[in-house]
Amino acid sequence: MTYVASCKLPTPYAVFTIHGFEEGATGKEHLAITLGDVMTTGDGIEPPLARTHSECLTGDALFSMRCDCGYQLDEALRSIAREGRGILLYLRQEGRGIGLLNKVKAYALQDKGADTVEANAALGFADDLRDYSICKPMLDYLGVASLRLMTNNPRKVASLEALGINIADRVPLEVGRNPHNTHYLSTKAGKLGHLLTTHQDDDVAVVGR
């Protein structure tokens, strides 16, 4: 992973700093978005609030309500802004690693009744192909060794800890439930082990972005 450049990123939430990285093996470009001093190399420094967020073009940019990705991205940035310190790693791993067009194919299968895990399997993919090892060199460059991680996914926590990244706390990030994604969220809880406190299909509320 090679660091490329940094610049200011003004947003409705705060003026962040965005850092660009390039993955040598694939040429993929990834981002770290930081606010305040996120270094944790000294003694007694509280770990920053953080999120590793895999790209979801449909949810992040096109306001799709089929998933909770865009809602989680917004809330993560808001939460970091409220604290005045934190980091978000934006990873170019569309569709849990299967790519944008394959995700569209998976959505087409879901329209016919498959859940997200069944759709991936029908296309010949595992349920989650994301590689969190790319986070380690980005965090090392920024001097971050410990995080308070915003996630509902215990697999993500385990993957980062296996890389030597200390997860001091898991901070739940449950937002964006709506009538279009209740089955998706139930599948994430039931088949992928996400820790969701309210994932029943009768617990619906439209959450606007």
Q: Which residues are annotated as a binding site for GTP?
A: 51-55, 72, 94-96, 116, 151, 156
Q: Among all chains, which residue has been given the structure tokens 């215990």? A: 154
Give the integer Cα–Cα distance in Å for 86 and 47. Answer: 9
Helix (H, G, I), strand (E, B) or coil at 156: helix
Residues making up the annotated binding site for Zn(2+) are: 56, 67, 69
128 annotated active-site = yes
How many Cβ atoms are within 10 Å of 4's Cβ, its own excluded? 12
Q: Decide if 170 is catalytic.
A: no
From the number of C-beta atoms within 10 Å of its C-beta (0-12, 13-18, 19+), residue 102 rates as: middle
Find the catalytic residue in 66, 127, 128, 177.
Answer: 128
Burial classification of residue 178, based on how many CB atoms lie within 10 Å of its CB (0-12 exposed, 13-18 middle, 19 or more buried) = middle
Which of these is catalytic: 60, 68, 127, 130?
A: 130
The alpha carbon torsion through 40, 146, 173, 15 (nearest 10 deg) reads 20
Residues marked as catalytic: 128, 130
